[in-house]
Amino acid sequence: MPQGGDSRKLKICLVGDVGVGKTSLIRRYVLDVFDDKYIATIGTKVTKKDVQVRNPKTENSESITLLVWDIMGQPSFREVLREAYFYGAQGAIAVCDVTSRESLNELRYWLKAMTATTGEIPVVFLGNKCDLKEETRITIEDLEVFAKKHDAKAMYTSARTGHNVEQAFATLVDDMLAR
């Protein structure tokens, strides 16, 4: 248990294909901003966020430092970065773009790659870009069926509007603390 004012650190990895909105989700969650300009992640980037949460085991309030890891989604870098990226992860957010069925199918690869290093860890599945209603190709039901196979929760999010972003991270942290 941490001593003094130290907060407990939890490592969270975001997984998903290039362009699904992983970096935008992190920016919305940590900084509460959204930028339409596409910024490709080169390698990995770690963002810190301190949160106060209620520990489901003890019912006490706890200070947690989230270390949110972002990885580039390009397939050519997956193998190179995989082990170092996933090492020590205690939870993951698996992101697909609701306008691309292929991005949901690709999550199978990401989860297999992740669990090869981490073993079974809590995951929350996000269908991002739900604000693009006219272009949606993945229903919340599709996402829930996929998530259920991994004993995980699923939700629609929008980094643009902030819809469910805070909730997604809070849900994952709760699942991580409940273990």
Residue 77, pLDDT above cutoff 70: no
CA angle 28–30–31, rounded 5-degree value: 70
The pLDDT tens digits for 111-163 are: 998 999 999 999 999 999 999 999 999 999 999 999 999 999 999 999 999 99
Average pLDDT over residues 87-96: 97
User: CA separation (Å) from 75 to 17, 43, 48?
Assistant: 8, 12, 26
Residue pair 59/38 in contact by the 8 Å Cβ criterion: no
Residue 102, pLDDT above cutoff 60: yes
Pairing of strands 61-71, 153-156: unpaired
d(CA 56, CA 2): 18
Nearest residue to 94 via CA among 110, 75, 72: 110
Residues in the chain: 179
The counts of H helices and E strands in the chain are: 5, 6
Instruction: Give all domains of the chain, ordered by start, each with its CATH number.
Output: 8-178 (3.40.50.300)
pTM: 0.90
Predicted pLDDT of residue 57: 85
* 89 Cβ neighbours under 8 A, 6+ residues apart: 11, 12, 13, 69, 114, 117, 118, 121
Predicted pLDDT of residue 43: 65
Give the confidence band of 89 by pLDDT, cuts at 50, 70, 90.
very high
Provide the token pair at 106: 């690709």
**Between residues 93 and 81, the one the model is more confident about:** 93
Residue 97, pLDDT above cutoff 50: yes
